[in-house]
Amino acid sequence: MDACWHLHPLRVRYQETDRMAVVFHGNYINWFEIGRTEMIRHAGLRYRDLEQHGLLLPVIELESKFIMPALYDDFVLVCTRISAMTPVRIAFESQVRRIDEHTAFPELCGDETPPGELLVRGTTRHAWVNKDFQPCRLDKAMPEVYRALQLSFNV
């Protein structure tokens, strides 16, 4: 099965830009996090609930490639999908794309390309850990969450 994209629209706010009306590069990292959080929420899960069960998901690696800048008041789509998953690690592929605000957001799986102009792409890699930051296996700690991620996102 091919992983599905989760699509989350945002409008670029003035506070996210620099003097040139260009989005400050650090904000893309925040948008990647928003994409991951909303993707997980879409599966009926919340990070808060995972943390209350003693599970944390810190970023252990981050890559990004800046292609074109987003500008103040642009309408962008944060596209997120799981690119790899094991019981102890998970990786997310992210894209930020400029779109017309009237663009429809279809469900996209496999090799389908999200709509809009590609601005930034990136990957974040994470490890499941306990509150002491020791690695743990999601399939053992919370098997229902592990299965929900597999089923919800075709991984």
The answer to whether the beta carbons of residues 117 and 98 sit under 8 Å apart is: yes
Least confident span in 46-55, 97-106, 116-125, 126-135: 97-106
Give, to the nearest 10 degrees, the angle between helix 26-42 and helix 143-153: 100
Buried b (16+ CB within 10 A) or exposed e, 29-67: bebbbebbeebbeeeebeeeebeeeebbbeeeeeeeeee
Asked whether residue 70 carries a pLDDT value surpassing 70, the answer given is: yes
Count of other CB atoms within 10 angstroms of residue 111: 6
Q: Residue holding tokens 């830009």?
A: 17
* Dihedral angle of Cα 66, 123, 107, 25, to the nearest 10 degrees: -30
Burial label for 117, CB within 10 Å (0-12, 13-18, 19+), is middle
Mean pLDDT of the region 38-53: 91
Mean pLDDT of 33-57: 93
What is the amino acid identity at position 6?
A: H
Q: Where are the domains of the chain?
A: 4-153
Fold of 4-153: Thiol Ester Dehydrase; Chain A (3.10.129)
The pLDDT tens digits for 84-104 are: 999 999 999 999 999 998 877
Is the pLDDT score of 14 beyond 70?
yes
Mean predicted lDDT score pLDDT of the chain:
93
Confidence label for 44 from pLDDT (cuts 50, 70 and 90)? confident
Enter the pTM of the model: 0.91
**pLDDT confidence tier of residue 4, bands split at 50, 70 and 90:** confident
Mean pLDDT, range 129-135, rounded to an integer: 96
* pLDDT at 118 > cutoff 60: yes
